[in-house]
Amino acid sequence: MSRRDAKSALYEQFARMGKGLSNSKRLELLDLLSQGERSVESLASVAGLGLSTTSLHLQGLKEAGLVASRREGTFIHYRLTGEDVGALLAMLRAVATTHLAEIDRAASKYLGGNVLDPADEVDRSELLQRVRAGEVIVLDVRPTLEFHAGHIPGAVSVPLEDLEKFLATFVNDEEVIVYCRGAYCVLAYDAVRTLNASGHRARRLHEGMLEWRLAGLPVESGAA
């Protein structure tokens, strides 16, 4: 084997992982998996994909070394192969946001309105400090299972769909900080709008759980 061929073979290997990141549906799946392991069917329904397609993408991701699977009864749970995969995903998003102007437009279409207004965002250190001082209420608006897989200590789990119900009993006027999966997760944006519309002071945590964990900040798992 020539030097050239050996070099190609090596870069071919790196490209295997690159291929995993080269499709929007696969990125959606990775994004979901960054919150904890999930079954194929659950991934398919959230990502809006057919089952066989989802299965195929997951096998592609496994081939790329980005995910691994575990059998539990009839279910097969997929998960990221490591923390570093989440970091890679976050960096891809960050670099893409910096260099592709279309992302801002697509993001504001998806997340709604004035996404870029930083006045509504709290950074991680501020949240940490204020929740420890008991000055704020932290709301985790992801689905319950994701909350159980890991959340910010002290956060209350209120899945977005239960927010209205929660508000009915929420007479407190403390400030609320809302978070969800990560940088481009829509849940917290929606929640902040709902909270503000019903007269509460609410802001969104900058980014979300993925980046919180990557920053090495404390994570609690199980029920609140």
Stretch that binds DNA, among 17-25, 157-165, 205-213, 214-222 (CB under 7 A): 17-25
| Distance, first Cα to last Cα, the chain | 58
Please report how close the Cβ of residue 117 comes to its own copies at its closest, in angstroms: 18
Length of the chain: 224
Q: Is 185 annotated in the active site? A: no
> Is there a contact between 84 and 73 (Cβ–Cβ < 8 Å)?
no
Told to check if 103 binds its own copies by CB under 8 A, we report yes
d(CA 111, CA 34): 19
Site string for DNA, 18-47 (x = CB under 7 A): -x--xx-xx------------xxxx-----
Told to check if 9 binds DNA by CB under 7 A, we report no
d(CA 44, CA 80): 16
Per annotation, catalytic residue among 67, 149, 180, 195: 180
The strand pairing partners of 79, in sequence order, are: 68
Q: Could you say which of 17, 49, 103, 183 contacts DNA (CB under 7 A)? A: 49
Work out the widest C-alpha separation in the chain, in whole angstroms: 73
List of residues contacting DNA (CB under 7 A): 19, 22-23, 25-26, 39-42, 49-53, 55-60, 69, 71, 73-77
Q: Which residues are catalytic?
A: 180
